[in-house]
Every structure is written in C-alpha cells, then in structure tokens.
Amino acid sequence: MRSTTPNDVHAIEGAVILDVREPGELEQARIEGTLDIPLGELVERAGELPSDTTVYVLCHVGGRSAQAVQFLESRGVDAVNIDGGIVAWHRAGLPVTLGGAS
C-alpha cells in the first residue's frame, strides 16, 4: 500500500480526495471538495469513484483510510493513503473548514 503526506497531496492540482469518515466527523472538520463516502458504505458506493486517476484516501488519523485503500486496490483503483488523516492535514496548516456543535 502506498501512502503520502498531506502536504504532497495538497500540492497536486485537482487531486481526487476520498474522505471515508462518518457524517458527524465531517461536520466537525472537512476539506472542501472531497468525495465523502463513509467506510461502511464504500463497498456499495465504490462505483462513484473515478477509475482514470489516483484517489487519495483520508480519514481521522489513517486507520480507516488504510482499509479503504486496500479494498480499492483489490478493485483495481489506484489509491493512496494520506498519512495522519485530517489531524495531520490540519496540523500541517492546510485548509480545513471547521464547524459543528460547539
């Protein structure tokens, strides 16, 4: 399984980022423009992903996204795990929309 850093993904123009976190997690912090498919729905919704480009997969800290990458690779999708998930993305100072209940 390949992995990359949030900074490297952010530097890719037009990168396709799949966020596999749950809706409640997305309400707390999200990256604008991601494809949002919770890990538990990925098997039935995998057809929504582009098949002609690399898909960069993100979760909270990297565990669920690693599972998603393994599944997607088994289906022939070029998928790459984003190390550290949204936590590392935020800590790197990259754009994140924060919100949700306070």
* Catalytic choice (55, 59, 82, 88): 59
Please say if 59 is a catalytic residue: yes
Structural element, H or E, at residue 24: helix 23-28
DSSP assignment, residue 5? -
Does an H or E element contain 36, and which?
A: strand 35-36
How does DSSP classify residue 14? T
List active site positions: 59
